[in-house]
Amino acid sequence: MTLPLWIDTHCHLDAPELAHDIDVVRALAAERGVRLCVLPAVAADHFEGARALAHRLGDAYALGIHPLFVAHAQEGDLERLDAALTQWRDDPRLVAVGEIGLDFFVPALQRPPLRERQLHFFRAQLKLARKHQLPVLLHTRRSVDAVRQSLRQIEVPGGIAHAFNGSRQQADHFVAMGFKLGFGGAATFDRARQLRLLAREMPAACLVLETDAPDMPPHWLYRTAEQRADGQPQGRNTPAELPRIAQCVADLRSLPLEALQRIAWDNAISAMPRLEGLLSSQ
């Protein structure tokens, strides 16, 4: 039997938590069938590093300014993004603009001036994605409707609503606009009823998989505050968890793992078409 191959569509391989043993982390993921990771940058200072790491590991990358990094971003960072997208236009490993979006999780982020600042950076980056004709990797935490409103005004070539956690109606809206929905560790928790219902019932054509490593640990790595106080450390989420997350999603949909693999693989390429050339050339 051959090992099913996976694409981790959202994985922060350049995160400090993974830096000390990134080669071991990536090798373990490869051993478990993770063929390719998409590494979204989060700030202009990380663009070079994200690109270099994706090249070194044989992965893909996206360039963008994450909503949680907007507070410390400079106006000139948007020009740096434009310049980088121009300079590396012919790099087959550059597959999207991301991670971009809006985050209204914390009250301070929902209010002026950070709300407006996030919107300004998000909309400017959507315009860059449109200009460079690249799909987007979207962060939509507590902001699904606001993200959608911007997408309706600034049309981009599709992409992924990563770690999607909205209602069925909101999910349908994204799919109708041509976006895929990223499912990851959060969908492995029994208590995530609404999310698991989406993972089970959304049309197969909209589904992609991700770990969002090192964030969003699946349930088997998660420790409650109480357990942590007891000295049990939180397990570290890495792209090696993707096949087990995939098994959870396959179980939710009552699909054989191989069938889910084909669906998720094709959808990832459809969301980020440059992956096709990359995967066939390496």
Contact residues for Zn ion (CB under 5 A)? Answer: 99
CB of 160 to Zn ion, least distance (A): 11
Contact of 63 with 81, CB cutoff 8 Å:
yes
- By beta-carbon proximity to Zn ion, the closer residue of 141 and 250 is 141
CB of 12 to Zn ion, least distance (A): 6
Question: Please, are residues 206 and 172 in contact by the beta-carbon 8 Å criterion?
Answer: no
Contact present, 259 and 250 (Cβ < 8 Å): yes
50 vs 252 by CB, closer to Zn ion: 50
Taking the complex as a whole, the smallest distance from the CB of residue 69 to Zn ion amounts, in Å, to 11
Report the residue number, 68 or 250, with the smaller CB distance to Zn ion.
68
CB of 10 to Zn ion, least distance (A): 6
CA distance linking residue 245 with residue 242, whole number of Å: 5
Distance CA 145, CA 166 (A): 9
Q: In what order do the strands lie in the sheet with 159-162?
A: 6-8, 34-40, 60-63, 94-101, 136-139, 159-162, 179-183, 207-209
Nearer to Zn ion, 99 or 241 (CB): 99
